[in-house]
Structure 1
Amino acid sequence: MAASIGTWSFGLAAVEAASRTLETGKDVVSAVEEGINIVETDESVTSVGLSGLPNSSGEVELDAAIMDGYSLRFGAVAAMKRIDRPISVARKVLEESPHSLIVGEGATQFALQHGFTLQPDRSEAKPSSEESHCHDTMSLIVMDKKGNLAVGVSTSGAANKHPGRVGDSPLPGSGLYVDNKVGAAAATGDGDDIMKFCCSFQIVQYLKQGLDVQSACDKIIDDIAERIGAENMFEVAVIAMDTKGRYGAAGTVKSFTDDKSSIQYPGFPYAVWHQETEPLPKILVQPPKDLLPKDTRIT
């Protein structure tokens, strides 16, 4: 059976688009690409695509990556400027480049060489301090009827970041990972902290060790809290899916307000679709995980 899961409430549109793509008979990588394209081109989303918030120099820099669970092929771009639909450029890297990750001006040149169009310069004033913590990555996992899995991510990264800064999103094993034989995972949140723990790879390894998908998501959050202390936890949320299309999510997000609908969610909102159990895509909310201080943990 086919299934999909995506981060944040704006991920509902991506999940819906991915399900429609699969219904037309296209492959799972195309479903990830076309699902994320919907969010990348939505100007109301200020953390993905060219409508994302700028860096400290007033320029929007984009990161994106896509991975195929059948072949384990991976393609990514980072710190790319003035090119829309960065997930599509990442797919071109996956399919048509001997490299896996292309960054900065090189990523822009690669995109132009492969038919993408340089978009108008959207440089603007430095964002306000209230916006500087925006890091809501669009992460999407899709499984087709044959059990093939793919995962993709796209983000403009932390607002007001130093030019050239790259977070966890386009790094394999950190922002995303997938293996058809095991499952898939993706992360969102404070990328400079997330990348220290290779969250997505760890979740897939927990699945390989026999944990169910929700327990695998919970465990990575517990592992981080145990390592650095619950009082030092940062914003992080993860999603995952196993080879049966069963999904899970966990994180420390206390609340999220959707800019388009103004709905405030009491936790981490994520979108799901499952051909059998959730035939109509919907938004679920995962409350922030209850983290115990180190000295009260049972060992």
Structure 2
Amino acid sequence: MQRRKFLHLSSLGLGAFSFKGFAGGKMAARKPIVISTWQTGIAANAAAWNVLRNGGRALDAVEQGVMVTEASQNCCVGLGANPDRDGFVTLDSCIMDEHANCGSVAFLERIKHPVSVARRVMEKTPHVMLVGSGAQQFAVEQGFPLEPQQLSAEAERNYKEWLRKGEYKPVINIENTKSQTSSAPKRFDNGEWNHDTIGMVAMDAAGNLSGSCTTSGQGFKMRGRLGDSPIIGAGLFVDNEVGAATATGQGEDVIRICGSHLVVELMRQGLSPEAACKKAVERIIRIKGSKAKEIQVGFIAINKQGQYGGYCIQKGFDFAVCYADDKNFLVDGKYLL
């Protein structure tokens, strides 16, 4: 009877489909897998993969991964980043695990790894977010050393250049350095530099999801400005039944639509990660209208089947994908404008 049933399915063209796409009657997931925003995600993914390939937890992977970027001392993320208008570097970060536990820090100064402080907030306090001097005090109490209050050489050059004009106009796709051939600071026609975020989401071998997001915010921002990166549901969201998403770009506009949460909810409705990211981008464009061409926002996401995808407003966004020892590569994000 079973043999006849199988032959009947094969005659309908279903036999090969069942074995190629499914395992045990369910779609076989690509796991473990980690994805992260921008070209810097390649190095971050490599660190995350060292955790995942050895059976480690996705939460540990997304922390270890973005720590690489935080420590890189460039003008994009971490203490080497461009300062606010008053000349101070402030950092924001969040992390979320498969149980909906989450932690966040914002407006944090002089701490090298805000993502690790965010994890301590999640694990050691009854709160989700700590900010400013309170976040710094907590970090020190947890054993994180205070780093020197000084700008990196590159950030100091950029800040002095910015002070000559005192203008604030974020530059899109600043994180994309694929075309940069020199170690010198990347300069733009308007004489400004800017920077943004690394967001990372991962699924481990057990099929559990986690995510992290860390940033120094937009260069030469108003003192006290926060974007989407430390906000659960905006810069990052994880639902272990559905998938995980993170965002990069103009944080104010990600906040307006609770962007990462929206992407996950769209995946819950059956959309693929790429289609869900596209829908979120479309919503921002509808809100911004003609001003959408002045900003960049990108989303990336994975679902429980290990499918991944991303979408952005304008050409130039890319993200890194890693799901095997020899599979750590960049993907050019699809775009609408």
Query: Which of the numbers 227, 231, 247 marks the counterpart of 2:287?
Result: 227
The residue type equivalent to 1:95 in the other structure is E
Shift of 1:287: 4.0
SS of the counterpart of 2:139?
helix
Tell me, yes or no, if the aligned pair for 1:126 and 1:160 is still in contact at 8 Å: no
**Higher share of residues assigned helix:** 2
Query: Which of the numbers 311, 329, 335 marks the counterpart of 1:282?
Result: 329
Matches within 5 A, 1:118-133: 118-123=146-151, 124=156, 125=159, 128=162, 129=167
Alpha-carbon distance in structure 1 between the residues aligned to 2:219 and 2:237: 25
Normalising by structure 2, what TM-score?
Answer: 0.78
User: Over aligned residues, Cα RMSD in angstroms?
Assistant: 1.7
Matches within 5 A, 1:258-277: 267-275=316-324
Shift of 1:9: 0.2
Alpha-carbon distance in structure 2 between the residues aligned to 1:210 and 1:76: 29
* Equivalent residue, structure 2, for 1:48: 77
Range moving further from structure 2, 106-115 or 125-134? 125-134
* Per-residue CA distance 1:52-87 (angstroms, 9 max, x = gap): 11001101000000001x210110000000000111
Alpha-carbon distance in structure 2 between the residues aligned to 1:23 and 1:142: 12
**Which stretches of structure 1, 4 residues or more, deviate above 3 A after TM superposition?**
123-127, 129-133, 230-233
* Equivalent residue, structure 2, for 1:71: 99
Question: Are residue 152 (structure 1) and residue 239 (structure 2) matched?
Answer: no
Query: Which of the numbers 5, 28, 32 marks the counterpart of 1:2?
Result: 32
Alpha-carbon distance in structure 2 between the residues aligned to 1:164 and 1:236: 21
SS of the counterpart of 1:71?
coil
Tell me, yes or no, if the aligned pair for 1:54 and 1:127 is still in contact at 8 Å: no
Question: Are residue 217 (structure 1) and residue 277 (structure 2) matched?
Answer: yes
User: Which stretches in structure 1 are left out of the alignment for 5+ residues?
Assistant: 255-266, 291-299
Shift of 1:231: 4.5
Greater radius of gyration (CA): 2
Shift of 1:219: 0.8
Q: Would you say how many aligned residue pairs link Structure 1 and Structure 2?
A: 274
The residue type equivalent to 2:320 in the other structure is A
Tell me, yes or no, if the aligned pair for 1:55 and 1:126 is still in contact at 8 Å: no
User: Which stretches in structure 2 are left out of the alignment for 5+ residues?
Assistant: 1-30, 168-189
Question: Are residue 164 (structure 1) and residue 216 (structure 2) matched?
Answer: no
Alpha-carbon distance in structure 2 between the residues aligned to 1:232 and 1:82: 34
SS of the counterpart of 2:79?
helix
Question: Among the aligned pairs, what percent are the same residue?
Answer: 39
* Equivalent residue, structure 2, for 1:115: 143
The residue type equivalent to 2:298 in the other structure is A
Tell me, yes or no, if the aligned pair for 1:202 and 1:220 is still in contact at 8 Å: yes
Alpha-carbon distance in structure 2 between the residues aligned to 1:116 and 1:25: 28
